[in-house]
Amino acid sequence: MRELVMICPGALAEPLSDVLLETGALSVSVEDADMDTDAEEPLFGEPGSEPNTQAWTRNRLVVLMPDGLDPEQLLELARENLGQPVDLPWHLRDVPDADWVRLTQAQFGPIRVGERILIVPSWHADQIPAQRDAQHIAIQLDPGLAFGTGSHPTTHLCLEWLADQLPDAATVLDYGCGSGILAIAAVMLGAGTVVGVDIDEQAVQSTRDNAQANGVIVQSMLPDGLSEGQFDVVVANILSNPLKVLAPMLAGRVKSGGQLILSGVLERQAVEVAAAYSPWLPMAVWNARDGWVCLAGVKP
C-alpha cells in the first residue's frame, strides 16, 4: 500500500480531496503543511461552531491508494473531474501492510436506497431482514479490495433505475462491476442472466464473493473473458472519459430495443457524454443527484 503526498493551496484542498475520493483514493487527510514550524496556522471558529475555513494556506494532502492504482492516472482523473489543472508537487511513500480497505470502509453502516433496496455491509450482516422478496431486497456487501460501498450518488442513481425500470427476466451486463453491487441488485430485482465485467482482477473476485454471499449467480470476468453477444440492459457506472472511449463497444452490446444506463458523469459532462453515444442511440439525463447524473437511452 502507498500514500500519495502533495502540497496544495487552501482553496484547492477541499474540492481536490473530494475528487480524489471519487476517483479511487481510499482516504484523504488534510494537514497543515507548516505544522510544528513558526508558520503554523491555528484554525478557530466561533465558540461551539466549526472554523469558517477548513484548510490552511499551505496544505499537505495524504492520499491512501489501493495497490495497482497509478498515481499519475489518479491525478489525471482528478484533473478531468475537477475541471482545472492540478499541477502540484507530489511524492509516494510506502505504508505498512494492512487491510486498509476494511479499516476505511468499516465506518459505513446499512444504507437504504429508495423504497426497495437496503445495502448492508458484511460487518452488519445481522441487520439483514429475515424476510426478503423481489419488492424489498437487502444486499450484503463486502467491498473487499474493490471500490463500491453503495454510498456514492452515482451508485444510488443506478440502483434506483434498476428498481424502477428493469424489465423482468432481462439479460444484464454490468461493465465496471467493482464490488458487484449493481449486478447483484439486478438479479435480486428479477433479471435473468447477469454478467459483471471489470478490468481489475480484485474487483472480479469481489463480485464473485459478494454474489455467493447473497446466494445469487453473477458471471464475473475480465473484459477478455466476455463472449460475443448483446444484452437487454447494459449499465456502466465508471467515469466520463472511459465512458466516451468505450462508447462503440458499450452501445454495441445493447440489443435493438434494449437500454443503456450510464453514470459516473458530472452534470456539466452530460451533454458531451451523450454526444459520444449519439451515433448509436440517443442518451438523456434520467435523474440527477448531488451534481452527478444518470443517463439512459433506448437503442433503436
pLDDT in tens, 21-55: 888 888 888 888 887 787 776 654 334 434 445 57
112 pLDDT band, cuts 50/70/90, is confident
Per-residue pLDDT reduced to its tens digit, 243-265: 999 999 999 999 999 999 999 99
Q: What is the DSSP string of 251-300?
A: HHTEEEEEEEEEEEEEGGGHHHHHHHHTTT---EEEEEETTEEEEEEE--
Q: Between 232 and 138, whose confidence is greater?
A: 232
Q: All domains of the chain, ordered by start, with CATH?
A: 2-98 (3.30.70), 105-298 (3.40.50.150)
C-alpha 296/C-alpha 243 separation (Å) is 13
Point out which residues pair with 219 in neighbouring strands. 195
Which of 55-64, 127-136, 286-295 tops mean pLDDT?
286-295
Has this prediction a pTM greater than 0.85?
no
∠ CA 202-117-233, nearest 5°, is: 65
Residues 6+ apart with CB under 8 A from 297: 259, 260, 274, 277, 281, 282, 283, 284
- State the pLDDT at residue 199: 92
Which whole number is the average pLDDT over 7-16? 88
Q: Do the beta carbons of residue 159 and residue 183 sit within 8 Å? A: no
27-44 per-residue burial string, b: 16 or more CB within 10 A, e: under 16: bbebebbbeeeeeeeeee
Q: Do the beta carbons of residue 121 and residue 246 sit within 8 Å? A: no
Point out which residues pair with 119 in neighbouring strands. 111, 139
Q: Between 229 and 31, whose confidence is greater?
A: 229
C-alpha 75/C-alpha 73 separation (Å) is 5
The number of beta carbons lying within 10 Å of the beta carbon of residue 82 is: 19
- Strand, helix or coil at 16? helix
Q: Do the beta carbons of residue 298 and residue 281 sit within 8 Å? A: yes
Which is it for strands 292-298 and 284-289: parallel, antiparallel or unpaired? Answer: antiparallel
Q: Is the pLDDT of residue 270 over 70?
A: yes
Per-residue pLDDT reduced to its tens digit, 129-173: 766 666 789 898 875 544 456 678 899 999 999 999 999 999 999
98 pLDDT band, cuts 50/70/90, is low
C-alpha 190/C-alpha 195 separation (Å) is 14
Q: Do the beta carbons of residue 219 and residue 193 sit within 8 Å? A: yes
Q: Is the pLDDT of residue 235 over 50?
A: yes
Residue written as cell 451486463?
173
